[in-house]
Structure 1
Amino acid sequence: MSALSAFLHPAVTREEKEVIISKRFLGEDGKPVPFKIRSLTQEENAAIIKAATRQKKVDGQWQDSIDANELSARTIVEATVFPDFRSAELCEKYGTKDPVQVPGKMLLAGEFGRLIDAVSKLSGFDKSLDEEAKN
């Protein structure tokens, strides 16, 4: 078996995880309802970055500029399995037709931060290669 086979058959292709980001969203049992998130591939990440990039003219030259808030919101929408921010019911509840606006309207700033942090970690942004090799 060649070393190339390791790249043809990676151990895990997609991870999902439940995370509690707030005590405000309670189930019928009175306990916090977890958000279900999934990891993002670099291909998905690149598409999100492209969607959050705008061109603006600076000193007569066009430059790309990434809207950090939009980038975070798009990342949350793409990586959150439950609740589905694209659902018509959630969009209607928060007064928008654009799912990208729902996380900002629904979540407190700290909750938004915890959710984006959890997605980032699940997508591999939390560890160096040295740390992963030790585990």
Structure 2
Amino acid sequence: MSNFQDFLMESFDEVEVIERTLKIGGKDRPMKFKPISAARGDELRKKCRKVSVVKGQKMIETDQDKYIANLIIETTVYPDFKSAELQKSWGVIGAEELLKAMKIKMVDGEYSVLTNLVSEVNGYDLSMQELIEEAKN
């Protein structure tokens, strides 16, 4: 049990880019995704937090819609939501504004599929039973 070889840095795999074709704006479009690190996920959650004080109690809320939008932006390799050229073609400035503009042209189910795929790419797709089985191995 004292063998820590499995936890040496070189034993960790690099994440791979995942290619999928999604129906976005009524057309099948090739897209590429890459999972973000847990550290980057923490940064995104902190960015999407709102702290308020209610009756002397510190309340921390996470804006889930903003978090999901940022997760999509950070996970999506292609198209690059941070591309100035792409933003210009949509008449917006900023990756979040680009995603908002694209959502206007999407059917709600298309955005839902994109959200689910990004969650899956980042490892949020595992059920409790799958997590238990994975932990056993």
Query: TM-score, structure 1 length as denominator?
Result: 0.79
Identity within the alignment, %: 30
* Pair 1:95 & 2:97 matched: no
Displacement, 1:23?
5.4
Residues 77 and 56 (structure 1 numbering): CA distance in 2 closer, same or farther, change over 3 Å? same
Structure 2 gaps, min length 5? none
Displacement, 1:98?
2.1
Q: Which residue is equivalent to 1:125?
A: 124
CA RMSD of aligned residues (A): 2.4
Query: If each structure's strand is expressed as a fraction of its own residues, which one has the higher value?
Result: 2
* Pair 1:40 & 2:36 matched: yes
* Pair 1:111 & 2:110 matched: yes
- Which of 74, 77, 88 is the aligned partner of 1:78? 74
* Pair 1:50 & 2:74 matched: no
* Pair 1:16 & 2:17 matched: yes
Displacement, 1:61?
3.6
Q: Work out whether residues 48 and 63 of structure 2, in 8 Å CA contact, stay in contact via their aligned partners in 1.
A: yes
Query: If each structure's helix is expressed as a fraction of its own residues, which one has the higher value?
Result: 2
Q: Work out whether residues 24 and 110 of structure 2, in 8 Å CA contact, stay in contact via their aligned partners in 1.
A: no
Q: How many equivalent pairs are there?
A: 129
Q: Work out whether residues 85 and 99 of structure 1, in 8 Å CA contact, stay in contact via their aligned partners in 2.
A: yes
CA deviations 1:81-126 (Å, max 9, x no partner) are 0000001122223332121222232132322222221122122222
Q: In structure 1, what is the Cα distance between the partners aligned to 2:25 and 2:50?
A: 34
Tell me whether 37-46 or 51-60 shows the greater mean CA deviation: 51-60
- Which of 61, 64, 83 is the aligned partner of 2:60? 64
Residues 6 and 67 (structure 1 numbering): CA distance in 2 closer, same or farther, change over 3 Å? same
Letter paired with 1:10: S
Q: Work out whether residues 15 and 122 of structure 1, in 8 Å CA contact, stay in contact via their aligned partners in 2.
A: no
Displacement, 1:46?
0.4
